Amino acid sequence: MNSTLNQEETMPGNKAGGDMFVMKCGGSTLAALPDSFFEDLKGLQEKGVQPVIVHGGGPAISGNLEKLGIETEFVNGLRKTTEDVLDVVEMVLAGTINKQIVRRIQSVGGSALGLSGSDGGLIEARPVANSAEVGWVGDVTHVKSSILNGVMEMGYMPVVAPIGVDASGQRYNINADTAAGAVASHLGVARMIVVTDVPGIMKSAGGEKRVLPTVTVQEIEDMIGTGEIYGGMIPKVRAAIACIHGKVREVVIVDGSEPNVLSRVVAGEVLGTRIVRM
């Protein structure tokens, strides 16, 4: 870690630890969740537990691109991002989706503040290795955790859109799972929660699929190899693996429709799948 990160993480008021967690959720998943989910978020905030939300919005981006007649394609799971596509990505993620989430939290009495990774240079990025194929897609190089801590010190829940920026001001489209993992790592939280529309990582046993309560990094690699983990779950588990270092001990994948799912996970109840490094 560089000296800037170390300085930020030792600043007075840094809340890294057991009273904070990073939550990642897709925009379409969040839109489908009931008010009770957001009331649970508000309740945690009132108890002094600080959620930091990083969201996606893939289906909404695709829908808007289609309406505008802009072609889009995926290369190894990453959206090929031209300047035209990037304009729509930023509009949807930092605009529509981000503000919808903020409004839903505030509609149940919570306090939230929406941010893009461009704001204050919150998420610093560089081109991915295969940028020649995928365009303006970025990898996270640094997260200014002092900005997020400042927002929380003011009593607001940060809601972060995964847009990155480099020193020249170039924008990057960043996979939301990757961004959430980077935010968790740089904040030094103990737990990251991935809210999805599935109950966890499933494994076939005796002719039926069951949720694995705990899975190790090696078991995940084996399941990807055999095809038991596939499609959109692969970037989720890869991002989880990437952020399990330093103070981040575990990533929990849960179904957002479970009643009071966040407060139950924070309280230590076994729900969904815990990904741990052995």
* 126 known member of a binding site: no
* 268 known member of a binding site: no
* 249 known member of a binding site: no
* 98 known member of a binding site: no
Query: Phi and psi at residue 241, in whole multiples of 5°?
Result: -60, -40
Q: Which residues are annotated as a binding site?
A: 57-58, 79, 173
Q: Which residues are annotated as a binding site for substrate?
A: 57-58, 79, 173
